[in-house]
Amino acid sequence: MSTGVQPNANIQTISFRRPTNKPAESTAKPKNRHGGLLQDQLRRAQRAPWCPSWSAALRILLLIRVAGAMYSGIQDCDEVFNFWEPLHYLYKGYGFQTWETSPEYSIRSWAYILLHYLPVQITATFLGPEKRPAFFAVRIFLGLISSLCEVTFYRAVVDRVNYRVGRYVFFLLLFNAGMWTASTAFLPSSFAMYANTLAFAYALEPPSSSGTSRTLFATLAFATGAILGWPFAIAVAIPFVIEELLVPGTDKITPENQSSWFIGRWKRMITSAGVAALLVIPVVALDTLFYGKLTVVPWNIVKYNVFPDSQRGPELYGTEPAHFYLANMLLNFNVLVPFALFALPALAITHKVDNKRLGERYQYADKSSPYTLLALRLAPVYLWLAVMTLQKHKEERFLYPIYPLICFNAAVTIYLARGWLETAFIAVTSSPYKASRSTLFSQFTLSVVAASCILSVSRIMAHWKYYHAPMSVTHALEAAEVPRLLNVTGHVVLPPRVATEGRSKRHSDEDELPRIDLSLIADWGLRLCVGKEWYRFPGHFLVPDGVRVDWIKSEFDGMLPGHFAETPRDGGLLERVKGTRVIPKDLNDLNKEAPQLYVDVAQCDYLLDLDFPQHPTQAAHEPRYVADTATWERVECQPFLDAAHSPLLTRTLWMPGEIWQRRNEYGEFCLLKHKANVGKKEREHTVRRA
């Protein structure tokens, strides 16, 4: 600003000039949202649909994954006995041991289990020795890892494939019933899923000789999932390896540089694989420490499953028909299944009817076609399904490594089908303008994604409403029965019961209840028994310290877990090593029954059992304990779906309303109390006051 004096002394003027210290305008170009493999043909200049940023997507996903950690059930007894129980042993010095964790067979990695020890110890440090918080801390930790990998994958799809496809992937991952379970499952196949998801976030970038980060990071992620998790998961990386070694990607190949290019790609792949293979060293070192002998668990797993002798092998534990995985995918992915399986044919159709959908051709004809690049990214789902279907022994968790990739394949097909609709609309109307204004295409994609999300939520609710009873009922031992015992024997004094919402509770506000020292029952010698429902036992993390869990004889005649050699509960990991090195005498890899693991039912204080009163069945070793009211008393019972006598639709999905629910039939999953045994212990441990 400046002032000046004019000839007329009574007039002054003021002039303004632009500031000289104005910051320089940014020369950075906005990110091109049309730079991926798949290209929009309509509305290219309009505002892009909403795609959450990395941080926003992480926060949204975390809400769902933490909810899954808190409310999803444990669907596989292998998760309990091969992973939760060894972790519990590291924490408390006792727990169930399967033959797989015996040093004689050693096909479970202690290195993998140790990854989950940190959240347990953090919880013990800040929240005390109770086990239930540690259980959920581990699951929340798994949900966090899954969320980080999923969000990184989603953003890579947005940047490298197409922002619409990325948005579909985000919502499909967010609400999918399969991801609800797999994301927080304590299983090597879930760990392989995390690793594969992260690896694909890097692998979506087209290969190029100009940078090594794609090759190195993707190889490290694939190798981590295979070495530390499940060795067979490395098969998912085969298309990536083929692409890395043989596909030019964005490189220009000429006759003059073809040999050097080929050698350079192989050298880079071998170097990355060599770096990734270094992970074997700490894994083998830890497993060797815990088993007390040189142990390479990934090789042991491959040897047992691929090269078994005539008496051994995975088929001892059941076989399933070829359509098993298709049925499983329909349960977890519902309407997405045909889209996921039709991805490669859809790509071929797009090549014929909507050729521009895969973007502009590269400048050089000798570079890779975008169709080739996308086909290689869709191939792992087909490869994995083929490999798993050929195996006679099948389990739901074997598909976990490709769950996010199923969502990706489905999202690509949905997008390509949208392109067919656009092409057909323009062909009929001869008006790209009308096509750009039409809501038909967005309604199509919205209907598919919304239908999948609604059906998935219905499936998630079915798991909670129909099958969650074992976890809730087992927790009743700690939450209700042990406090009752301590109260009636005078060890603690609890507030009187009051009625709240039709139920009898000890206090109207449970948050104000005093914290009870459950260790007071440590010397009572309480025993919880499990019979025919052994495979639904949720693990020692939900059973209070001081309660021993044992098996009673049922009609099942296979191998059940034994007990780890107990070590001092206040001992550290070096104390636990003394127990993990012990070879148990009662365990075998032939799935042969070990009667010495059973106790007499008369020695049980509590019993977990399932009864179907509308369709009662019993056998010599499976009487109806619930009906024997002279011996047993109900502590807690909750409904459990009678799947054999419920219609397929209503047992598969949950919907609100009495009409839907009354089509199903239910049994009762119960925690029972042996009246005489518990009564005797109450009398023995009653506090005598002067």
* pLDDT at position 569: 85
Alpha carbon distance 132, 327 (integer Å): 34
> How many angstroms separate the Cα of 155 from the Cα of each of 56, 152, 200, 345, 349?
11, 5, 11, 25, 27
**Closest residue by Cα to residue 373 from 562, 623, 205:** 205
* pLDDT at position 507: 43
- What number of other Cβ atoms are within 10 A of residue 679's Cβ? 12
If pLDDT is split at 50, 70 and 90, which confidence band does 364 have?
very low
What's the distance, CA 363 to chain centroid? 42
Q: Which two tokens stand for residue 112?
A: 């993998």
Alpha carbon distance 332, 176 (integer Å): 7
Average pLDDT (455-478) is: 96
Q: Tell me the sheet residues that pair with 549.
A: 528
If pLDDT is split at 50, 70 and 90, which confidence band does 363 have?
very low
Non-local (6+) Cβ contacts of 168 within 8 A are: 410, 411, 414, 415, 445, 449
DSSP class of 363: S
* pLDDT at position 323: 94
Average pLDDT (110-119) is: 97
Find the distance separating the first CA and the last CA of the chain, reported in whole Å.
95
Are 474 and 543 spatial neighbours (Cβ–Cβ below 8 Å)? yes
Are 223 and 279 spatial neighbours (Cβ–Cβ below 8 Å)? yes
Are 498 and 508 spatial neighbours (Cβ–Cβ below 8 Å)? yes
* pLDDT at position 354: 85
**Closest residue by Cα to residue 422 from 435, 413, 412, 434:** 435
- For the ranges 216-220, 467-471, 501-505, the lowest mean pLDDT is seen at 501-505
- Mapping DSSP to helix (H, G, I), strand (E, B) and coil, where does residue 3 land? strand
pLDDT at 499 exceeding the cut of 90: no
* pLDDT at position 35: 66
* pLDDT at position 50: 84
Non-local (6+) Cβ contacts of 358 within 8 A are: 37, 38, 39, 350, 351, 370, 371, 374
pLDDT at 347 exceeding the cut of 50: yes
pLDDT at 448 exceeding the cut of 50: yes
Average pLDDT (91-97) is: 97
Helix, strand, coil tally for the chain in percent (to 5): 55, 10, 35
**Closest residue by Cα to residue 161 from 381, 377, 7, 460:** 377
Compare 518 and 85 and report the one with higher pLDDT.
85
Alpha carbon distance 211, 207 (integer Å): 9
Angle at 562 between CA 136 and CA 393, to 5 degrees: 80
pLDDT at 29 exceeding the cut of 60: no
% of the chain beyond a pLDDT of 90: 76
* pLDDT at position 238: 97
Average pLDDT (501-517) is: 55
Q: Which two tokens stand for residue 333?
A: 């992915």
* pLDDT at position 436: 82
- For the ranges 35-44, 113-122, 355-364, 382-391, the lowest mean pLDDT is seen at 355-364
Alpha carbon distance 611, 618 (integer Å): 9
**Closest residue by Cα to residue 319 from 369, 234, 389:** 389
pLDDT at 598 exceeding the cut of 70: yes
* pLDDT at position 525: 93
If pLDDT is split at 50, 70 and 90, which confidence band does 45 have?
low
Q: Which two tokens stand for residue 344?
A: 């490669």
pLDDT at 38 exceeding the cut of 60: yes
Give the model confidence (pLDDT) of 282-318 as tens digits: 999 999 999 999 999 999 999 999 998 888 999 999 9
Q: Which two tokens stand for residue 340?
A: 């996921």
Question: Mean pLDDT in the chain?
Answer: 90
Which alpha helices (H) appear in 186-256, and where do they start and end?
188-203, 213-224, 238-246
**Closest residue by Cα to residue 113 from 287, 282, 276, 296:** 287
Handedness of CA 389, 394, 400, 401 (dihedral sign): negative
Q: Which two tokens stand for residue 51?
A: 């795609």
pLDDT at 509 exceeding the cut of 50: no
Alpha carbon distance 57, 170 (integer Å): 8
* pLDDT at position 33: 62
Average pLDDT (257-269) is: 92
684: phi then psi, degrees, rounded to nearest 5: -65, -30
If pLDDT is split at 50, 70 and 90, which confidence band does 360 have?
low
pLDDT at 536 exceeding the cut of 80: yes
Average pLDDT (381-400) is: 96
If pLDDT is split at 50, 70 and 90, which confidence band does 438 have?
confident
- DSSP state letters, 311-323: T-SGGGG----TT
